Chain A
Amino acid sequence: MDSETAFAGAGTSGFTGAERHSARGAPGPVGGRQACRAPAAPMPELGASRVPLPADSSSEPRPPFPSPEPLPGASFPEPLPGASFPEPRLGASFPDPRLGPGEMVRAEGLSKTFVLHLSGPAVLKALEDVSFSVRAGECLAVTGPSGSGKSSLLRCVYGNYLPTSGDVLVDDGANGAVSVARAGPRDILGLRLRTLGYVSQFLRVIPRVSALDVVAEPLEARGVPRDAARRRAAELLGRLNIPGRLQALPPATFSGGERQRVNLARCLVWPAPVLLLDEPTASLDPANERVVCELVREAKRRGAAVIGIFHGRDAWADVTDATCELRPPSCGAAVPPSGGREDR
């Protein structure tokens, strides 16, 4: 390979050996993490992880795709200058044969097993053969006792945990469906940028950065100029009852409920087509919880698909359209290999 041709080809294909290293014999999880764990398997080319439309798809009868009708009360956010958000969509704008009409997220046979090498190794099952489907504008509540893998499920959808088997397909707009279990790191980053909003249970604070800038940052990362991003962030924090004097402070000193509202604002400030909410109102008072429920209702009206862990809280009952009940996997509760720390 000489330097003339090395960069040739779409994306990275010129560097066929790139990021392939020290192939180990151990069977790895499905794709996902780069080829360092895949024994002698050829590197998929960048973009190959996206589910390709079959070449003969035009000859196959495709289910009729309904043109989205505006839902009653639908209100799309005002366009922001410079923003490069996807068009608000009710279902896939380019229907992918692997997702049904309007389907935004589908999990099929999703399993997650942790192998803790430092303790034995110990093998802990977190999820076992979970399947579900969420359509645009719907909210799926994930329920089940503690240790049944609810957070692990959301993390698998977000690409934070590598599924051991099974897959999650997410409608990524013009990119078609992305297989989260098989996508490479940069594809997951793109999916998160365009499609996935995620609220963890706890806010990981960045030292020295004000709450306002913490919330404005996801907008800036999506091309909104700083001033406009800050105005939108201030407005949302105001709705969540974080007053201006607090907005100027770094959230490190905030109470648990205030931090959680900053964390929520960070996720809800941009119109993510898919929202993953991990106990979004666990430490909020009823008044603030109602505000959050209303914000999520608004997101549903603009067509967002929502997957949430709500622990049966009453306020969420009329936000929820469907339930996915998890049972603890056959061999007990799972602790992630980082020791079960969830505070980040």
Chain B
Amino acid sequence: MIGNPVLAASGVTCLYGSRTGCADVSLEVHPGEILALAGESGSGKTTVLKALSGQLKPAAGRVLYRDAGGAELDVHALTEGRRRLLMRTELGFVHQNPRDGLNMAVSAGANVADRLLSGGERGYGRARSAALDWLGRVEIPADRLDDRPGRYSGGMLQRLQIARNLVTAPRLVFLDEPTGGLDASVQARLLDLIRDLVATLKLAAVLVTHDLAVARLLSQRLMVMKEGMVIESGLTDQVLDDPQEPYTQLLVSSILEA
């Protein structure tokens, strides 16, 4: 296929003291595709996500990001200021707990506008109208713009966090269990929203999830992790319908049927 990866990691190994968080993980993410990392708790999915997004420096390996100008950046060789600017503009990170990704002390509108302003937007009025537009796109009523996020429900908070991340039109978004901890109905609505936004905005995304149904709905490619290692990877439907590894077969056969 045409197109260069927007993110490429090779041989990424992260250690927590003597314990291994992830070992020798290599992957590529291309524009417009969602790559899912699946596995049970403690398999190293979130460690990989932190290493990819520059929050955790790997003991070995490297992570390369291609920025909007086409320059290749070694994510872990950037200055902290440069990395933070990237995280506010071209990259997004949606935390499982929206409180980790939002400023709970300011209004919902300010949460969205903030990211624009800190990313270089100078016009306050433009930032506010962009915030309003984005709240509409994630189906938050306009009259809740000036509410503090503390007054939002869990599903609304997660949609607000998504709006905050997408308002700067990022090129690559990291999603850490974005629908974890939500009711099934709220989860379905959020999945639909993410699917639609990713398709419309031609985003690339790395999705961490323990829920194989979420991976099937959202991702084109899937990597299965166990004990810090990627044990199987490929097309999402192929890995789920024709799993090769014993552990993947166990995961797939453990899905509850509704």
Contacts and interface: CB of A to CB of B under 8 A. Distances in A.
Bind each other: yes
Interface of A: 3-4, 6-7, 11-12, 14-15, 17-22, 28-29, 32-34, 36-37, 46, 114-118, 121, 155, 159-162, 185-190, 204, 206-209, 220-221, 336-339, 341, 344
Nearest to B12: A21
B145 interface: no
A20 B61 CA distance: 13
B15 to A, nearest CB: 17
A72 B4 CA distance: 43
A116 B189 contact: no
B64 A22 contact: no
B192 A206 contact: yes
A51 to B, nearest CB: 16
B252 A15 contact: no
Given A162-B244, A186-B30, A337-B253, A3 B73 contact: yes
Nearest to B73: A3
* Candidate in B238, B241, B244, B246 with the most chain A CB atoms within 10 angstroms: B244
B238 A36 contact: no
Given A7-B64, A209-B192, A221-B199, A159 B238 contact: yes
Given A12-B4, A118-B250, A162-B242, A3 B192 contact: no
* Majority DSSP secondary structure for residues of B touching A: mixed
Contacts of B241: 155, 160-161, 336, 338
Contacts of B257: 341
Interface of B: 1, 3-5, 8-11, 23-28, 30, 33, 64, 66, 72-74, 77, 188-189, 191-192, 195, 199, 216-217, 220-221, 229-235, 237-246, 249-250, 252-253, 257
Contact of B4 (A11, A29, A206): A11
A116 B241 CA distance: 12
Given A33-B233, A33-B238, A33-B244, 8 more contacts: A7-B4, A15-B8, A18-B26, A32-B238, A161-B241, A185-B233, A189-B33, A339-B253
Given A22-B231, A207-B192, A116 B249 contact: yes
A186 to B, nearest CB: 5
A336 B230 CA distance: 23
B176 to A, nearest CB: 21
A161 B240 CA distance: 10
A38 to B, nearest CB: 12
Contact of B10 (A15, A114, A187): A15
Nearest to A162: B242
Contact of B238 (A7, A12, A160, A337): A160
Contacts of A36: 230-233
9 contacts: A12-B28, A18-B28, A34-B234, A37-B232, A118-B249, A155-B242, A185-B220, A189-B220, A338-B240
A117 B249 contact: yes
Contacts of B25: 21
B217 A206 contact: yes
Given A3-B74, A18-B28, A220-B199, A189 B234 contact: no
Contacts of B30: 186
A304 B128 CA distance: 51
A181 B11 CA distance: 27
B5 A185 contact: no
B244 A37 contact: yes
Contact of B252 (A33, A185, A221, A338): A338
A162 B231 contact: no
B232 A207 contact: no
A185 B26 contact: no
Contacts of A22: 23-24, 229-231
* Candidate in B10, B30, B66 with the most chain A CB atoms within 10 angstroms: B10
Contacts of A189: 1, 33, 220, 235
Given A15-B28, A28-B244, A189-B220, A206 B195 contact: yes
Nearest to A161: B242
Contacts of A341: 257
B28 A159 contact: no
Contacts of B24: 21-22
